[in-house]
């Protein structure tokens, strides 16, 4: 299983960071370079506990469909989305929010397991972990920009 851990400091209150991170429309903006769209489930606005979304996007030159469900939720400090259908053997993304003096530390812990056993492990080490990290870093940049924009308006 591959694990990617990212920390992003955002100059915005924890509540704003939490909501922006679970906003379907912000997610779509952060992945527009993949053509990603929400095609089923919660397809716009904020997603919550027990809700799911099905995404369609082009990754590594292949159109893919992935469904995730929010399986844990503690507003405004923690939520988890897990794959219920898709190309991975498994995928779990933990989102942790910690209020700091001048903002919020957002920690992402993204775990995934590729299919195909040893071939999947080889793909992880060769390119997939790097590809997923790049996607998550870009997503966090969009979240940071939007959260800081919202915080500046209050």
- Identify the pLDDT of residue 122: 59
Task: Tell me if residue 88 falls in helix, strand or coil.
Answer: coil
Q: Domain limits of the chain?
A: 2-152
**Average pLDDT for runs of 10 along the chain of length 154:** 95 98 97 96 98 94 95 98 94 97 96 75 71 95 98 93
- Identify the pLDDT of residue 77: 98
- Identify the pLDDT of residue 121: 62
Burial class (CB in 10 A: 0-12, 13-18, 19+), 117: exposed
- What pTM value is reported for the model? 0.93
Q: Which CATH architecture has domain 2-152?
A: 2-Layer Sandwich (3.30)
- Identify the pLDDT of residue 19: 98
- Non-local (6+) Cβ contacts of 35 within 8 A are 56, 57, 58
- Identify the pLDDT of residue 101: 87
């Amino acid at each position: 299983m591959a694990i990617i851990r990212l920390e992003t400091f955002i100059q915005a209150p924890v509540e704003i960071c939490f909501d922006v991170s679970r906003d379907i429309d912000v997610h779509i903006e952060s992945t527009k370079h993949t053509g990603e769209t929400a095609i089923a489930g919660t397809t716009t606005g904020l997603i919550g506990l027990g809700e799911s979304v099905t995404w369609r996007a082009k990754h590594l030159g292949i159109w893919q469909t992935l469904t995730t469900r929010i399986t844990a939720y503690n507003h405004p400090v923690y939520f988890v989305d897990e794959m219920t259908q898709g190309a991975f053997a498994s995928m779990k993304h933990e989102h942790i929010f910690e209020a700091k003096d001048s903002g919020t530390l957002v920690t992402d812990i993204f775990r995934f397991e590729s299919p195909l056993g040893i071939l999947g492990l080889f793909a992880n080490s060769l390119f997939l972990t790097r590809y997923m990290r790049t996607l998550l870093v870009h997503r966090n940049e969009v979240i940071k920009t939007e959260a800081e924009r919202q915080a500046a308006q209050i």
